[in-house]
Chain A
Amino acid sequence: DAKTTQPTSMDCAEGRAANLPCNHSTISGNEYVYWYRQIHSQGPQYIIHGLKNNETNEMASLIITEDRKSSTLILPHATLRDTAVYYCIVRPMEYGNKLVFGAGTILRVKS
């Protein structure tokens, strides 16, 4: 399975956009990019996933580079409640695939 590299931690001012990078340079053509977050004392929360195209939902946008070797999760207007650990995960398409978590990025949103 492809591995991901994320910064250990990031800070963001409340109300500003939070841009969380992820490097997945060994990703293959049949692997999705997933993003989850985990707020303290809660279970991981699904945010978004994509294959090749950029994706947007009510929580965030996912920008995947054309060569698919990196991606950025964008939270357009960060709030204090967005403080969490954010996990970027590469997940194969085929049957029997697993969701394997890496270390993630601690995002601290500050007022």
Chain B
Amino acid sequence: DTEVTQTPKHLVMGMTNKKSLKCEQHMGHRAMYWYKQKAKKPPELMFVYSYEKLSINESVPSRFSPECPNSSLLNLHLHALQPEDSALYLCASSQDFGRGGSPLHFGNGTRLTVT
């Protein structure tokens, strides 16, 4: 069990669909992250939110749109995805984004398949 909850666990969507991934934490953390992980590869950072503001966008295509409605919630809106976007999407949180000594805590991810 983790303290970062991601829903849904699995998602299958067509290339014309719009869907959203959700992430929630109640640890009082002020930094939240989205990572993408392809099969047999390490996780890759996509976005970082700090105090509900977008701090880092790792040149992610605009068909991925993050949103942080409040300090406990993080969404990833998906639109017009391609089959190569199929991956495990991981959410993480940390106490803050200001210090390297603040560990990230990960959820178990949403496994996305784009058909």
Check A46–B105 contact: CB distance below 8 A. Answer: yes
- Bound Cα distance A19, B48 (Å): 33
Check B98–A98 contact: CB distance below 8 A. Answer: no
Size of interface on B: residues with Cβ below 8 Å to A: 24
Secondary structure dominating the interface of B? loop
A10-18, A74-82, A88-96: which one contacts chain B? A88-96
Check B48–A44 contact: CB distance below 8 A. Answer: no
The number of A-B residue pairs with CB atoms under 8 Å apart is 58
Q: For window 95-111 of chain A, which residues contact chain B by CB distance below 8 Å?
A: 95-104
Select B100's contact among A32, A43, A102, A104, beta carbons within 8 Å.
A32
Question: What are the residues of chain B within 8 A of A51 when measuring CB–CB?
Answer: 101
Check B103–A93 contact: CB distance below 8 A. Answer: no
Contact with A along B84-115 (1 / 0, CB 8 A): 00000010100001111101111111000000
Question: B45 on the interface (CB 8 Å rule)?
Answer: yes
* Nearest-Cβ distance from residue B108 to partner chain A, whole angstroms: 5
Check B45–A93 contact: CB distance below 8 A. Answer: no
